[in-house]
């Protein structure tokens, strides 16, 4: 159990650090009202988790420890659903209803598409 906690925690810390670095770099160059950094991180995270799921089915070397590290840990730390939810509340509170609806729709659509794409790529 301690080993599992370490794998998830270490993977999560790496995912969080990478998410932070990507986010601050996107925010240097983008000043619009749409939460682009979170959107791109969530979309890429969906592709990554799809790849990991597909590769774990395809190859025997992907054991439970690797799944805990990559899927539960890294992807859990990298993706930002809680930030996504908070940003939607801010859009609502600021009466940006069209942006809110677009952000929710496009995030869910591209998230599902990203998982499928990553899974598909892993099978090639």
Cβ(61)–Cβ(107) below 8 Å: no
Number of domains composing the chain:
1
Q: Which residue has better confidence, 109 or 82? A: 109
Query: Where in the sequence is the domain holding 48, given as residue range(s)?
Result: 2-122
- 111 marked as binding residue: no
**DSSP secondary structure string, 15-28?**
HHHHHHHHHHHHHH
pLDDT at 114 (0 to 100) = 96
- 99 marked as binding residue: no
Averaged pLDDT for residues 96-104: 97
As given in the structure block, the two tokens for residue 8 are 């998830």
Closest CA to 76 of 92, 100, 52: 52
Closest CA to 111 of 73, 84, 91, 87: 84
Residue length, the chain? 124
């Amino acid at each position: 159990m301690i080993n599992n906690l370490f794998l998830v925690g270490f993977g999560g810390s790496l995912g969080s650090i990478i998410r932070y670095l990507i986010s601050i770099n996107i925010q240097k160059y983008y000043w619009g009202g749409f939460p682009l950094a979170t959107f791109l991180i969530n979309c890429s995270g969906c592709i990554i988790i799809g790849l990991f799921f597909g590769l774990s089915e395809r190859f025997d070397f992907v054991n439970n420890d690797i799944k805990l590290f990559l899927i539960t840990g890294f992807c859990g730390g990298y993706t930002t659903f809680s930030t996504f939810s908070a940003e939607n509340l801010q859009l609502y509170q600021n009466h940006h209803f069209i942006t809110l609806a677009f952000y929710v729709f496009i995030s869910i659509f591209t998230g599902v598409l990203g998982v499928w794409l990553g899974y598909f790529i892993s099978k090639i």
